Amino acid sequence: MAAERTIQILPTAADLFHAAAEEFTRVGRQAIAAQGRFAVALSGGSTPKALYSLLAASYPDFPWARTYLFFGDERHVPPTDPESNYRMVSESLLTRIAIPAQNVFRVKAENPDATAAAANYEKQIRRFFALTPAEFPRFDLILLGLGPDGHTASLFPDSPGLKENSKLVIANWVEKFKTHRISFTFPVLNNADEVIFLASGPDKAAMVHEVLEGKPTPPLPSQQVQPTNGRLLWMLDAPAAAKLSR
Ligand code: 6PG
């Protein structure tokens, strides 16, 4: 059954990131009120940087001490590498908010064995959510981006990770980059209470149209994110939404 999908289109990038920050903090406060904590997986790449900076700068009262930050994917590099999602999040958010170090769950992607790094991250997640072997974690929120080829997290078209249905985290071989990337799998993404795709700018317009209105076979990875019992929210600025028919 397809998830309930909502598309929000904001006039400018600034409006988009403001709306995304409002949604992030709304979901966070709601989770903390309901269960005493907010477990959120952050997306990487460049788009969310502005969101993380805004969260750091404009929400001084947000309960970061009750917030637990995870990474939906990570490049197979050390945390000091310019390509590292952790480094991007650290610079734009972590170094600017009062969040206890133990509330941040970093992928130890410096491990030369990507499969071991993925397995270690899976262990961290299983421990945090106190999962039985057959259970998947239910994140209150997972942030995702949209890649130029329709990938999301590090689930790329034609990559082996698309078929993974039992692990939580995999080392996914990405042929076009000739490297592994560590990524959540679809069962984790689709078990979230809320998933937000953030896309900004004219460069995303064609792929936004293809994902939201196209019917490619096989479906694009971003089309396979359909939370089974959660909310799917696409947050776009007008340039990224420019090719949508309605
Ligand atoms: C990553 C992300 C990836 C990203 C898209 C969009 O590690 O790069 O997880 O899925 O969200 O590639 O990237 P941009 O925001 O840079 O366009």
pTM comes to 0.98
Give the integer Cα–Cα distance in Å for 214 and 177. 26
**Rg value, the chain, Cα:** 17
**Size of the chain in residues:** 246
| Closest C-alpha to ligand 1, atom 11 | 145
Amino acid 246: pLDDT: 77
In the predicted structure, residue 2 carries a pLDDT above the cut 80: no
Give the integer Cα–Cα distance in Å for 99 and 96. 9
164: helix, strand or coil:
coil
- pLDDT per residue as tens digits for the range 45-68: 999 999 999 999 999 999 999 999
Q: Cα–Cα–Cα angle for 226, 230, 231, nearest 5°?
A: 80
Q: Cα–Cα–Cα angle for 101, 105, 110, nearest 5°?
A: 105
- pLDDT per residue as tens digits for the range 169-213: 999 999 999 999 999 999 999 999 999 999 999 999 999 999 999
What atom in ligand 1 is closest to the CA of residue 85? 7
If you measure from the C-alpha of residue 57 to the centroid of ligand 1, how many angstroms do you get, rounded to a whole number? 23
What atom in ligand 1 is closest to the CA of residue 181? 7
CATH 3.40.50.1360 fits 4-237, yes or no: yes
Using alpha carbons, select from 41, 48, 58 the residue that is nearest to residue 169: 41
Q: Is 201 in the pocket of ligand 1 (CB under 6 A)?
A: no
Give the integer Cα–Cα distance in Å for 223 and 219. 6
What atom in ligand 1 is closest to the CA of residue 47? 15
Alpha-carbon distance values, 30 to 36, 104, 145, 193 (Å) = 9, 20, 23, 12
If you measure from the C-alpha of residue 154 to the centroid of ligand 1, how many angstroms do you get, rounded to a whole number? 8
Rounded mean pLDDT of 142-154? 98
In the predicted structure, residue 215 carries a pLDDT above the cut 90: yes
Amino acid 170: pLDDT: 98
**Torsion sign (Cα): 186, 187, 188, 192:** positive
Rounded mean pLDDT of 110-121? 98
